Structure 1
Amino acid sequence: MDTTDTTDTIRSGEVTDLAFWPTVGAPPGVEVFRCSALPPRAERHGVDLHAALRPDFHQLIVVCSGTLRCSVDFTDHVLTDGHWLWVRPGQVRQYRSGVAEAEGTMVLFQSDYLDAATVTAARIDEPGPGRPLDLRGAKGETERDVLALLQRQHDSSSTLPPELYAATMRHLLAVLVLRLAHAAGRHDEVRTGGEAFRRFRLAVESGFVRTRRVEDYARLLGYSVRTLTRVTQAAAGCAAKRFIDDRVLLEAKRLLVHTELTGHSVGERLGFPEATAFARFFRQRTGMTPAEFRSQARGADTSPPTVRIPPDRP
């Protein structure tokens, strides 16, 4: 077996969960290959790359030329020269164009492949925004250099003893993800929101099904509601309550589009006491009923994607 994200699939409604599988003979935990190598791997293992896929590993995509269209958690992106996309475990990814139409590189890795210090500093186990990074030209030169070293090392594994090869790959990948985390503003978020927001964000990720009340998170974490509201506004640009509701809404959209659960069942999974409460919550935030959203989202697969990459600023 020489594939990574194209085997061991589990169907759940319309979503495919993908487990990480390393190339035989290579140290487990990381894979690096050209975009053009992905379609034949998928074909050999019967995976539709244009279906909704939910990897349980990290995927870095960088495009060098051409165009790659894809969506991450219902946001469509057009990736061209110099654009990087970091898809994190649990996010739903769907390609809208042929992967081989773009020249680029993909890096797949598991969170536990990196050392604890890197995981903490880059905050890779926390939910990511799922939006591209524009690193065209000189501002992305170092990241491209590190990626080139990472790929050359991956492709020449036989030139080093296994333990040295694994350590080199781990260090190169650590440099890359640390620089990308910085470019994405993850450290700016830490500075503006501090430890309080980091803890709140993690608590919401693990507890949004149980409670949507800011007061409950404040009591759990030992902060005041005012503190959580202030740090969330500084770090995420919205109030704490909105932050919680946005996470619930994202999960509702995932379940509506990628499973066959009824709106009532989706509401139950998300902790709503009755179907009418969920329907009211969903409509207030989207302007649609759950059924209307499901119909529109599933019928929108062939529509042109929306460009989400901001223009260069002087």
Structure 2
Amino acid sequence: TLRHRVDFTDCAVEAGGWLWVSSGQVHQYVPDDLTTTRGTIVIWQPGFVLADPPFDQSPLLPTGPHARAARLTLRHLTHEYADLASLPLDAHLQTLRMLLSVLLLRLSHVRPDPVSSAPADDTFRRYSAALERDFRTSHQVADYAAALGYSPRTLTRATLAATGTTAKQYLDARILLEAKRLLVHTDATAADVSRTLGFGEPTDFAKFFRKREGRTPLEFRAVARGQT
């Protein structure tokens, strides 16, 4: 078992398990585990394959046919990655793309998808993409709804179906996560973080943070860095 911390959330990957860590997330290991644990890390550049991060990024533990297929695909992918000389470069890269796509597709079916209609799923994907682009400057669900051509209620229904939270809760959670990243992994002041995240006044940011985290930004930084 290998313990991880991804964006301030602790999780453990059991033998045979998988964990998706997205670009931009802060990923840490528990050092003691690294002396006894073996595994494979598969890393690719954005755009190498068309695959979006799963909405639920908790560890996966394939069983039965899924486990056997994932192991087989990983072995094949590892072999092709190392066998650079036997194919022209374009064919080699295409082989890797196909095998990685197969691996990701297989893993995407280990956990049943949330019950939702296709239109709602597409609505949430559009909202999530717009939020990721604009959360530093736009903090109101109504703004996203207007830009995307939906009503706020439609965005909330789609977000509830995909994540179990409302559209506003999903937006606030993304702002809070970025605030935590900046507080812990940079030396920016609380006022700097407030400006970066689009708050009009540092006091507004402090109220937002304390309401959702239960402590001030600087108190959170001290605890997260082990200074108190």
TM-score scaled by structure 1?
0.67
What amino acid is aligned across from residue 52 of structure 2 in structure 1?
A: R
Structure 2: unaligned runs, 5 residues or longer: none
Residue of 15, 19, 27 corresponding to 1:93: 27
Residue in 2 that maps onto 1:106: 41
Q: In 2 relative to 1, CA 91–191 (structure 1 residues): closer, same or farther, beyond 3 Å?
A: same
1:71 aligns with 2:13: no
How far residue 91 of structure 1 moved from its aligned partner, in angstroms, is 0.6
1:294 aligns with 2:221: yes
Residue in 2 that maps onto 1:270: 197
| Partner Cα separation in structure 1 for residue 116 and residue 219 of structure 2 | 35
Structure 1: unaligned runs, 5 residues or longer: 1-66, 301-314
After superposition, give the CA deviation of every residue in 1:88-117 in whole Å (9 maximum; x if it has no partner). 110111111253521211111112222xxx
Superposed, which structure 2 residues align to 1:88-237 within 5 Å?
Answer: 88-97=22-31, 98-114=33-49, 119=50, 122-124=51-53, 129-184=56-111, 191=118, 193-237=120-164
| Partner Cα separation in structure 2 for residue 192 and residue 80 of structure 1 | 35
SS of the residue corresponding to residue 204 of structure 1 reads helix
Residue in 2 that maps onto 1:254: 181
Checking the alignment, whether the CA contact within 8 Å between 1:267 and 1:275 is kept in structure 2 is yes
Report the number of matched residues: 226
Checking the alignment, whether the CA contact within 8 Å between 2:156 and 2:166 is kept in structure 1 is yes
Superposed, which structure 2 residues align to 1:232-247 within 5 Å?
Answer: 232-247=159-174
Q: In 2 relative to 1, CA 100–90 (structure 1 residues): closer, same or farther, beyond 3 Å?
A: same
| Greater relative contact order, per chain length (Cα 8 Å cut-off, separation 6+) | 1
What amino acid is aligned across from residue 29 of structure 2 in structure 1?
A: Y
What amino acid is aligned across from residue 99 of structure 1 in structure 2?
A: L
SS of the residue corresponding to residue 87 of structure 1 reads coil
Q: In 2 relative to 1, CA 139–167 (structure 1 residues): closer, same or farther, beyond 3 Å?
A: closer
Q: In 2 relative to 1, CA 205–239 (structure 1 residues): closer, same or farther, beyond 3 Å?
A: same
| Partner Cα separation in structure 2 for residue 188 and residue 177 of structure 1 | 20
What amino acid is aligned across from residue 42 of structure 2 in structure 1?
A: V
Checking the alignment, whether the CA contact within 8 Å between 2:190 and 2:218 is kept in structure 1 is yes
Residue of 186, 207, 215 corresponding to 1:280: 207
Superposed, which structure 2 residues align to 1:11-90 within 5 Å?
Answer: 67-90=1-24
How far residue 161 of structure 1 moved from its aligned partner, in angstroms, is 3.1
SS of the residue corresponding to residue 84 of structure 1 reads coil
Identity, % of aligned pairs?
45
Checking the alignment, whether the CA contact within 8 Å between 2:55 and 2:163 is kept in structure 1 is no
After superposition, give the CA deviation of every residue in 1:146-185 in whole Å (9 maximum; x if it has no partner). 1111011112222333332222111101111222233355
| Partner Cα separation in structure 1 for residue 106 and residue 120 of structure 2 | 20
| Partner Cα separation in structure 2 for residue 216 and residue 294 of structure 1 | 31
Checking the alignment, whether the CA contact within 8 Å between 1:256 and 1:294 is kept in structure 2 is yes
How far residue 188 of structure 1 moved from its aligned partner, in angstroms, is 5.8
How far residue 138 of structure 1 moved from its aligned partner, in angstroms, is 4.4
| Partner Cα separation in structure 1 for residue 22 and residue 46 of structure 2 | 10
| Partner Cα separation in structure 2 for residue 154 and residue 129 of structure 1 | 28
Checking the alignment, whether the CA contact within 8 Å between 2:159 and 2:165 is kept in structure 1 is yes
| Partner Cα separation in structure 2 for residue 192 and residue 101 of structure 1 | 46
Q: In 2 relative to 1, CA 185–251 (structure 1 residues): closer, same or farther, beyond 3 Å?
A: farther
Moved more, 268-277 or 71-80: 71-80
SS of the residue corresponding to residue 103 of structure 1 reads coil
SS of the residue corresponding to residue 134 of structure 1 reads coil
TM-score scaled by structure 2?
0.90
Checking the alignment, whether the CA contact within 8 Å between 1:72 and 1:91 is kept in structure 2 is yes
